[in-house]
Structure 1
Amino acid sequence: MGIKPKTYKNKWHILLDDKNSFHAQLIIRELRKNENLIVTKGNANNIDKIVDKNNVDIVLLSFTCLKTGKHINDIYSNGQGVSLIVYGIPRQISYEELSSWVCMKGMIYEDAPIEHLIKCIEAVTAGGLWLPRRLMERMLDQLRPYILSQPDGVSDLTKREKQILNCLVHGHSNLEIADRLHIAESTVKTHLYKLYKKLNVSSRREAIQVAKQHQ
């Protein structure tokens, strides 16, 4: 398949939701042809917990598993460098909705051949994106004014978000942050989701890099 892992990583752990069992089996069969990929099936309802426990690198989530963005937000706010790919996306879904999924690394339409999913994973493991071209054009158009008016996003953070960002810099986990700030862990996740959006980042590591640039 030609997937080349980064030099510091020999294996990539992929979590695949098992909502669509037939499609999932087809995907697993193709992905396991590559010895550098470790594929695990999991229930989408517990996907954020599975990500935490299994050191997952990429989550493959079917469009049918999405429930008002819940799972996307869970992975986005709780993931530490986890890449999210959604497959089986209907062609009729609006670009506006797709562009709201800011944490997405890859999107595959429902009528796309399995080869597109393989190429998508190849692009994501190389640190890139795999998104529909027209969607990327729309996203760039929406992003340009934001970048010009808010070059770093740090100034937009609330006092609580700045406290959480400082905790990230010091390497604290979500649970540790919750204990230190005397708030629920779910509240920490909500703050992280909003914080990431304001900083235009998709992981703890990227948020920490932005924070250090403004120290």
Structure 2
Amino acid sequence: MTIETFQSNTQKTPQSNKVLLLVTKPSLQSSALLLQLSYKLGINTKLHHINKPLDEPVSDELLVIFDIAQADKKMTSHWQTTLSQYRTRVKTLLLNAPEDYPFYEIERWPTISAVFYPSTGETQLTDGISSVLRDECYFSPRFTRYLVNQSGQQRYFNHQQNGITQRESEILNKLRMGASNHEIAQLLFISENTVKTHLYNLFKKISVKNRTQAVSWANENLRR
């Protein structure tokens, strides 16, 4: 994405409980982008080197803009696992996603809330981030239709081989998107206790101890 100079007549007061974290390789271009986003959107911004771990505690609501053009497959998987640990406080926005980026790959990102392509203009970028700040999503019509069509469907699993039920696969797919037990229960119209029971059985079947390990297992083993 070409970063141009943003024009704004007024500067907004930053939203103290929200932080925009740009994960990329530091450059004059990325620093300029953050400065202009902070000025135009009224949000606190930080730059995080894509090669460094996210060690600092997440105390505020974090909007992570991940520059996917700077990441290989291994780094992408690492960040997907990392962000899944902060699912209740993090929203993920992809920057510079390839135009042909598969939809199932987008779904791998925890709490994915927006996708921006190299062709995305500056107005679309700020509009998209503004939508996420309002607790909305910013997706292309094609990806939105895909999500609707895929909702509730069984995908990726060889159930006979893994012994995973359709309901367990649905829950694991929601888990990979960063959903909490409460959110999973609402999406699947079941109780939170039922979600916990399914997760307990699922963890035993795939030999993991927690949600993070389950997401990592899914990223490595789900059929595309």
Same fold (TM over 0.5): yes
User: What is aligned with 1:40?
Assistant: 46
The partner residue of 2:89 within 51, 65, 81 is: 81
User: What is aligned with 2:128?
Assistant: 120
Bigger RCO (CA 8 Å, 6+ sep): 1
TM superposition shift of 1:101 = 2.9
TM superposition shift of 1:138 = 0.9
TM superposition shift of 1:23 = 3.7
Counterpart CA distance in 2 for 1:91 and 1:121 is: 19
Please show how residues 80-99 of structure 1 align to structure 2 within 5 Å: 80-99=88-107
Is contact 1:28-1:39 (8 Å) kept? yes
**Higher share in helix:** 1
Q: Give the number of aligned pairs.
A: 167
SS for the counterpart of 2:30 is helix
Counterpart CA distance in 2 for 1:191 and 1:82 is: 18
Counterpart CA distance in 2 for 1:81 and 1:107 is: 19
Long gaps (5+) in structure 1: 163-185, 198-215
Q: For residues 13-69 of structure 1, what are the alpha-carbon distances to aligned partners after superposition, in whole Å with 9 as ceiling and x for unaligned?
A: 11112416244133213212147311111112335324x256452111101243432
User: What is aligned with 1:61?
Assistant: 66
Describe the shift of the 1:87–1:3 C-alpha distance in structure 2 as closer, same or farther (beyond 3 A).
farther
User: What is aligned with 1:176?
Assistant: none
User: What is aligned with 1:156?
Assistant: 198
RMSD: 3.6
SS for the counterpart of 1:89 is coil
Q: For residues 119-142 of structure 1, what are the alpha-carbon distances to aligned partners after superposition, in whole Å with 9 as ceiling and x for unaligned?
A: 111111111111121011112111
The partner residue of 2:18 within 5, 12, 17 is: 12
User: What is aligned with 2:212?
Assistant: 190
Indicate yes or no: 2:146 matched with 1:138: yes
Is contact 1:99-1:135 (8 Å) kept? no
Counterpart CA distance in 2 for 1:73 and 1:45 is: 14
Counterpart CA distance in 1 for 2:110 and 2:21 is: 20
Q: TM-score, normalising length from structure 2?
A: 0.60
Is contact 1:66-1:72 (8 Å) kept? no
Describe the shift of the 1:127–1:74 C-alpha distance in structure 2 as closer, same or farther (beyond 3 A).
same
Describe the shift of the 1:108–1:136 C-alpha distance in structure 2 as closer, same or farther (beyond 3 A).
same
Q: TM-score, normalising length from structure 1?
A: 0.62
SS for the counterpart of 1:93 is coil
SS for the counterpart of 2:51 is helix
TM superposition shift of 1:11 = 4.4
Is contact 1:98-1:135 (8 Å) kept? no
Counterpart CA distance in 1 for 2:107 and 2:88 is: 22
The partner residue of 1:29 within 31, 35, 46 is: 35
Q: For residues 80-100 of structure 1, what are the alpha-carbon distances to aligned partners after superposition, in whole Å with 9 as ceiling and x for unaligned?
A: 321111111111222232233
Long gaps (5+) in structure 2: 1-7, 155-165, 168-187, 220-224
